[in-house]
């Protein structure tokens, strides 16, 4: 049956135009059925198989050959091609043409995050099998909001959550036997990302900080103003070092705490929270006559900018003494727990009340897999919801205790990956990142044009261009001169980073740190997570930066 007027042969999409010249595609019941159920004919199928085979069985070659390979083209130029705000009544292209269009017209202008020369961000290459698992998740289209649309996946998910919970909190085997499938226990949940995981943790902490009293129904029900009044206080705060991720400030806004009440605690010269300062601030805030409640203290296990890890044991002690919720933001560093060699870097994490981990970072999953874990399996009762048509009280549906409603069976991807990789496989990746970052730090130390700013704790490293004569001048300068020299160096590093990115061969990111003497310092930031990134590639990246600097200086 061919009701749409084509002769059935595949016609490549014309670049830049969307008109299907010479034939009309129509939207009607027959064509809909074809589009919904299967490819319309052998030729279309062959085109689909050609591309999907490359993607599914040669992912890394495919990405190398098709993604981000063009000359730099500005977003402004590109945006001229995307000016069409009309949804057309009838189809414009067939599936095969759409896929071909994505690969030929869009992919070349995408960012090749899988390149081993792309070491600027926390988004990198993923193992090819992730795409297979993701495809199966889409194909099964389970919805974890409720049992009636997910059945076995809701209990499979509980199993995966328990495995990670056990890695983090190391409770007894009996604990997991009891809670793993217990309908009233919630060891954690999947959300979209680290931002929502942090929000969920602080949501729970806020509600537990302002529980119902005799004549108060709880903050979730009555809101912050009533909560403060009922609990005889005027302000609620969250404490985190000034390296805290901005998602925590968003959570402060969303939860009615106020983002200015997410207070930044000073850091030591390793960009870890200054534990003495933390203690002092808590004493000041909660001393006699206090009008402030501390909802939570957040420790960071891998800061986004430098990869520093706070002293989690010390923060845990302080929180226990003061009865404050202790959240650990391990969005980045959490998977370090897979490595026997380096799990110790996160020691104290087991004393947390809640922990954020991002699957799409160092579990190398596709985008969109945040997780939050709670030591107390009843902690999430503080945020339980019931919708009559979805869940009933006492139901084991995960939707009742999740910020997210409908959501995909991401546990299938993480559970599958843990089986395929084992903790040992992940450890190989983690160890490679940390050890390669250490080698990189040594290389930077031996190259005089560069200055190492933060040696790697995990696999993140910051440095800058700062030639020897500059280093000499800085070391003997007074404060005012240092400020002037630093801002000059900031200009240089900003320019070099931009020029390297625009050249398109490699990518290192840039951020601004406040140095121990209080100066805003622009630094180059490398995140080593791609197993294909090695010392030779990193040296080549430094070579490129050095030569960009030379040219820039001469100009
Ligand atoms: C990445 C990151 C987040 C935010 O995670 P998203 O998945 O981007 O929302 C939060 N905290 C830290 C420490 C991070 O590195």
- pLDDT tens profile 195-234: 999 999 999 999 999 999 999 999 999 999 999 999 999 9
Instruction: Provide the 10 A C-beta neighbour count for residue 545.
Output: 24
CATH fit for domain 194-396, picks 3.30.70.890, 3.40.640.10, 3.40.50.1820, 3.40.50.1970: 3.40.640.10
- Ligand 1 centroid–CA 394 distance in Å is 33
**Rounded to an integer, what distance in angstroms lies between the CA atom of residue 319 and that of residue 430?**
29
Q: What is residue 344's DSSP assignment?
A: G
Tell me, using a 6 A CB cutoff, whether residue 304 lines ligand 1. Answer: yes
Q: Is the pLDDT at 8 greater than 60, yes or no? A: no
For 510, the enclosing helix (H) or strand (E) is: strand 509-514
Q: Is the pLDDT at 422 greater than 70, yes or no? A: yes
- Ligand 1 centroid–CA 172 distance in Å is 29
- CB burial class (10 A; 0-12, 13-18, 19+) of residue 282? buried
- CB burial class (10 A; 0-12, 13-18, 19+) of residue 28? exposed
pTM higher than 0.85, yes or no?
A: yes
Tell me, using a 6 A CB cutoff, whether residue 310 lines ligand 1. Answer: no
**Rounded to an integer, what distance in angstroms lies between the CA atom of residue 409 and that of residue 30?**
32
Tell me, using a 6 A CB cutoff, whether residue 300 lines ligand 1. Answer: yes
Tell me, using a 6 A CB cutoff, whether residue 200 lines ligand 1. Answer: no
Per-residue pLDDT of 234-273, as tens digits, reads 999 999 999 999 999 999 999 999 999 999 999 999 999 9
Query: What are the sequence ranges of the domains in the chain?
Result: 29-112, 194-396, 427-554
Tell me, using a 6 A CB cutoff, whether residue 358 lines ligand 1. Answer: yes
Architecture of domain 427-554: Alpha-Beta Complex (3.90)
**Rounded to an integer, what distance in angstroms lies between the CA atom of residue 552 and that of residue 448?**
18
Mutate which of 202, 332, 354, 360 for ligand 1 pocket (most atoms within 8 A of beta carbon): 332
- Please tell me the predicted confidence (pLDDT) of residue 389: 53
- Ligand 1 centroid–CA 41 distance in Å is 45
Half-sphere exposure of 76 (CA within 13 A, CB side): 0
- Beta bridge partners, 507, equal 118
Tell me, using a 6 A CB cutoff, whether residue 372 lines ligand 1. Answer: no
**Rounded to an integer, what distance in angstroms lies between the CA atom of residue 471 and that of residue 473?**
6
Q: Which atom of ligand 1 is nearest to the CA of 302?
A: 13
Going by pLDDT thresholds of 50, 70 and 90, the confidence category of residue 386 is low
Region 488-507 average pLDDT: 94
**Rounded to an integer, what distance in angstroms lies between the CA atom of residue 163 and that of residue 166?**
5
Q: Is the pLDDT at 111 greater than 70, yes or no? A: yes
**Rounded to an integer, what distance in angstroms lies between the CA atom of residue 254 and that of residue 246?**
13
């Amino acid at each position: 049956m061919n009701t749409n007027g084509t002769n059935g042969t595949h016609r490549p999409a014309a670049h830049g135009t969307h008109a299907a010249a010479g034939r009309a595609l129509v939207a009607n019941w027959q064509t809909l059925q074809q589009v919904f159920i299967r490819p319309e004919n052998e030729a279309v199928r062959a085109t689909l198989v050609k591309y999907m085979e490359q993607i599914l069985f040669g992912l890394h070659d495919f990405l190398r050959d098709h993604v981000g390979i063009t000359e730099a083209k500005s977003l402004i130029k590109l945006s001229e091609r995307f000016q069409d705000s009309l949804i057309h009544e009838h189809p414009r292209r067939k599936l095969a043409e759409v896929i071909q269009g994505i690969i030929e017209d869009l992919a070349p202008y995408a960012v090749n995050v899988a390149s081993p020369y792309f070491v600027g961000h926390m988004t990198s290459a993923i193992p090819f099998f992730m795409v297979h698992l993701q495809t199966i998740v889409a194909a099964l289209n389970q919805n974890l909001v409720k049992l009636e649309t997910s059945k076995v996946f809701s209990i499979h998910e509980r199993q995966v959550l328990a495995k990670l919970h056990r890695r983090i909190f190391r409770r007894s085997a009996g604990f997991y036997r009891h809670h793993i499938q217990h309908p009233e226990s919630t060891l954690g949940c999947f959300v979209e990302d680290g931002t929502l995981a942090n929000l969920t943790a602080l949501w729970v902490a806020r509600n537990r900080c302002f529980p119902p009293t005799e004549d108060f129904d709880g903050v979730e029900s009555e809101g912050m103003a009533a909560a403060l009044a009922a609990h005889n206080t005027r302000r609620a705060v969250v404490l985190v070092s000034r390296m805290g991720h901005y998602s925590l400030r968003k959570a402060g806004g969303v939860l009615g705490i106020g983002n200015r009440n997410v207070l930044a605690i000073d850091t030591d010269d390793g960009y870890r929270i200054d534990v003495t300062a933390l203690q002092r601030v808590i004493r000041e805030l909660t001393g006699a006559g206090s009008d402030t409640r501390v909802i939570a203290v957040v420790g960071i296990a891998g800061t986004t900018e430098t990869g520093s890890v706070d002293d989690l044991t010390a923060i845990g002690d302080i929180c226990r003494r003061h009865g404050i919720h202790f959240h650990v933001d391990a969005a980045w560093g959490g998977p370090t727990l897979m490595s026997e060699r380096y799990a110790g870097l996160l020691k104290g994490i087991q004393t947390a009340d809640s922990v954020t981990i991002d699957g799409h970072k160092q579990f190398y999953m596709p985008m969109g897999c945040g997780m939050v874990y709670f030591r107390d399996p009843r902690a999430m009762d503080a945020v339980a919801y019931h919708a009559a048509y979805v869940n009933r009280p006492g139901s084991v549906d995960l939707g009742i205790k999740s910020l997210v409603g409908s959501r995909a069976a991401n546990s299938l991807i993480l559970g599958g990956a843990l089986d395929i990789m084992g903790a040992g496989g992940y450890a190989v990746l983690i160890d490679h990142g940390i050890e390669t970052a250490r080698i990189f730090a040594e290389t930077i130390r031996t190259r005089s044009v560069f200055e190492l700013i933060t040696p790697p704790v995990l696999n993140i490293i910051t440095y800058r261009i700062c030639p020897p004569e500059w280093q000499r001048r800085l070391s003997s300068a007074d404060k005012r001169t240092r400020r002037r020299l630093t801002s000059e160096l900031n200009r240089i590093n900003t320019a070099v980073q931009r020029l390297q990115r625009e050249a398109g061969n490699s990518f290192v990111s840039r951020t601004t740190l406040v140095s121990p003497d209080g100066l805003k310092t622009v630094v180059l930031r490398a995140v080593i997570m791609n197993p294909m990134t090695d010392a030779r590639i990193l040296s080549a990246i430094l070579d490129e930066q050095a030569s960009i600097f030379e040219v820039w200086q001469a100009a």
